[in-house]
């Protein structure tokens, strides 16, 4: 699978996308991550990517032409057209289901805005406008890294044991994963649940299932179709 990220700060993503399972998958050629400088797709000597907003107002707006040229140049370089994703504070929320669906694509083109955002006419050239949460970031780079990480770890082979992906949060029945513990068995009076030390795999499985449900009800009742205000607590 190929990821093409278009940004005015492409170098900002290199470190993050070169570590851990992602770095290993890139080194092994399982995923191909390419970072593009949006300014390479300008056609003026000053490599300008922004301009003042029509109708007035504060700040600068990113021009549509460099993004469209970048998309066209990348699409010309791939055999099957990549899905074009615009990271935007005004997009639909990016969720687990999207990550699963996109992991089946041959490629994703990720467009990162900055400043006050991108000229709205970009929407004619994108398949998806997505936000990673209900807050405004300074730019789309962090959001693009979120999408690349979430999608690539669902790409077969990227995480060595698929079991570790399949028992993660959101996977089974849409609930959270079970809480995890490691040594020591007791830390400052807090003991690891005894069942986990018992070696009884059936009981451990049952305990984990129940703990996962409990945690989901406490932190994310919305995932179970429950009214979030109904549980009344969000701490501890
Ligand atoms: N004026 C916009 C905010 C622009 S923020 C508004 O009122 O909504 C600048 C850029 O940061 C955006 O173009 C987008 O690429 C990125 N960005 C900001 N928040 C984001 C979010 N929650 N998810 C994804 N990208 C985001």
* pLDDT, tens digit, 9 for 90 and up, residues 122-177: 999 999 999 999 999 999 999 999 999 999 999 988 888 878 888 888 887 789 99
What pLDDT does 230 receive?
67
Residue 132: Cβ within 10 Å count: 21
Is the CB–ligand 1 distance for residue 61 below 6 Å?
no
Is residue 143 within 6 Å of ligand 1 at its C-beta?
Answer: yes
Q: How many CB atoms lie within 10 A of CB 90?
A: 12
| Mean of pLDDT over the chain | 94
pLDDT band at 236 (very low <50, low <70, confident <90, very high): very low
The structure tokens listed for 54 are: 């029509």
pLDDT-based confidence at 188, cuts 50/70/90? very high
**First-last CA distance in the chain:** 40
Q: What is the pLDDT of residues 112-124, one digit of tens each?
A: 999 999 999 999 9
Q: Which two tokens stand for residue 40?
A: 């390479």
Cα of 148 from ligand 1 centre, angstroms: 17
Alpha-carbon distance of 216 to 208, in angstroms, equals 12
Tell me: the pLDDT tens digits for 29-53?
A: 999 999 999 999 999 999 999 999 9
Q: Is the CB of 149 under 6 A from ligand 1?
A: no
Q: At what angle do helices 141-152 and 20-27 cross, to 10 degrees?
A: 70
The whole model's pTM is what? 0.95
State which of 13, 87, 98, 135 you would mutate to test the pocket of ligand 1, scoring each by most atoms of that ligand within 8 A of its C-beta.
87
Q: Is the CB of 167 under 6 A from ligand 1?
A: no
DSSP code string of 209-228: HHHHHHHHHHH-GGGGT--H
pLDDT for position 233: 55
Rounded Cα distance, 2 and 69, in Å: 19
Ligand 1 site, residue 177, Cβ cutoff 6 A: no
Confidence check: pLDDT of 235 > 90? no
């Amino acid at each position: 699978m190929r990821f093409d990220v278009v940004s005015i700060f492409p170098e900002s993503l290199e470190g993050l996308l070169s570590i851990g399972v992602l770095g290993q998958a890139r080194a092994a050629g399982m995923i191909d991550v390419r970072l593009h400088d949006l300014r390479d797709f300008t056609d003026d000597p000053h490599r300008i990517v922004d301009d003042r907003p029509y109708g007035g107002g504060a700040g600068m707006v990113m021009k549509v032409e460099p993004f469209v040229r970048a998309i066209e140049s990348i699409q010309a370089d791939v055999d099957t057209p990549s899905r074009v994703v615009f990271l935007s504070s005004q997009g639909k929320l990016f969720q687990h289901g999207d990550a699963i669906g996109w992991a089946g694509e041959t490629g994703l083109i990720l467009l990162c805005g900055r400043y006050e955002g991108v000229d709205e006419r970009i929407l004619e050239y994108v398949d998806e406008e997505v936000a990673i949460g209900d807050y405004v970031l300074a730019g789309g780079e962090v959001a693009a890294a979120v999408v690349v990480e979430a999608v690539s770890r669902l790409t077969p082979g990227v995480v060595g044991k698929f079991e570790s992906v399949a028992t993660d949060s959101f996977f089974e029945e849409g609930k959270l994963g079970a809480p995890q513990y490691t040594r020591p068995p007791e830390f400052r009076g807090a003991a690891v649940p005894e069942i986990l030390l018992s070696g009884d795999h059936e009981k451990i499985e049952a305990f984990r299932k129940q703990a996962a449900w409990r945690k989901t009800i406490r932190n994310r009742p919305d995932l179970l179709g429950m009214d979030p205000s109904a549980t009344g607590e969000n701490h501890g």
